Amino acid sequence: MTQGHIESIHLATAAEAPVRGVAEATAIAGLGLEGDRYALGTGTFSPKPKPSRQITLIEAEAIEALERELGMALAPGETRRNLVTRGVALNHLVGRDFSVGGARLRGHELCEPCGDLARMTGKPQILPGLTHRGGLRAEILEGGLIRVGDSVGYLN
């Protein structure tokens, strides 16, 4: 795999709270990103915790495809995913361990778009536009610092 990298990092303090971009974030093993809704226990799905809900990623290329194919401009943070990557096929990381900056993650499942995302963005066409390319849900196996520009690479 050609190593990809992190283009942006996004956190929200609660379910449906505005997402803010940050230059770096600390990944906490078994929990989430420090200051993010799932690490704080205030996310939509926090009452039903699963390892796959600790951190989410999406490809910048998928966001760009929305504009190219559907004419839908979407800011990276609007996807409500924590990390925006470039140069790495996230779908290929399901079931694999990988590194992101100083953290070690395990890809669990695709992060398919949902009605909540369509409602919050006011863009219902986002659902078919991001189907099978809406990102990746992952578990944080080993915590560490993640910065914009950090590499993303396979571990196994």
Residue 33 is part of a domain; what is its CATH number? Answer: 2.40.33.20
Note the pTM of the prediction, 2 decimals. 0.92
How many distinct structural domains can be found in the chain?
Answer: 1
- Look up tokens 């990298």; give the residue: 5
Helix (H) or strand (E) holding 118: helix 115-121
State how far the Cα of 136 lies from the Cα of 111, in Å rounded to an integer: 5
Q: How far apart are CA 7 and CA 156, in angstroms?
A: 23
Token pair, residue 66, equals 């929305």
* Model pLDDT, residue 2: 52
Sheet architecture: strand order including 32-33? 32-33, 24-28, 144-147
Sequential pLDDT tens for the chain (156 residues):
458 999 999 999 998 899 999 999 999 999 999 999 989 988 877 777 788 889 999 999 999 998 999 888 889 899 999 999 999 999 999 999 999 999 999 999 999 888 788 788 888 888 888 888 889 999 999 999 999 999 998 876
* Range of the structural domain that residue 120 is part of: 4-154
Residue 53: both structure tokens together:
């809900």
